[in-house]
Amino acid sequence: MQSLVPEEFNPFFWDVHMHDLDLHEHKIFIIERLLNEGDHHTLRWLFDVYSLDEIKEAVRISRGLSLKTARYWQYFFNLKEEEMRCFGTSLTKQDDLF
């Protein structure tokens, strides 16, 4: 298994040093960021590098997924809202928007 995120994904990780990202150690951060910001190419890479269970777990415990992203993956993985930590945060609470 490779240990670094491909350089071509640098635009998705504008706020961190790419060489400091370890695929195992920073797995949740990488998965969350690419689900939120990525495209078809990054998703293909994500599913090649991480197992379905690893991605599902990241979706379940992530606090930083956007509402749109969270809903998509909620249905994809057949998760209940209560199972997903992001629905308990202000990022996905619609009542607090205005």
Residue 38 lies in a domain: yes
- For the chain, how many structural domains are there in total? 1
- Kindly give the confidence (pLDDT) of every residue in the chain, 98 residues in length, as a single tens digit, with 9 standing for 90 and above: 566 889 999 999 999 988 889 899 999 999 999 999 999 999 999 999 999 999 999 999 999 999 999 999 999 999 999 999 988 865 555 555 55
Model-level pTM? Answer: 0.84
Q: What is the pLDDT of residue 18?
A: 84
The half-sphere exposure of 82 on its side-chain side, counting CA atoms within 13 A, is 0
Measured CA distances, 49 to 14, 65, 80 (Å): 21, 20, 25
Give residue 45's pLDDT.
96
Whole-number pLDDT of residue 87: 86
Domain that holds residue 47: 7-96
Query: Is 2 a domain residue?
Result: no
Give a yes or no: residue 1 inside a domain.
no
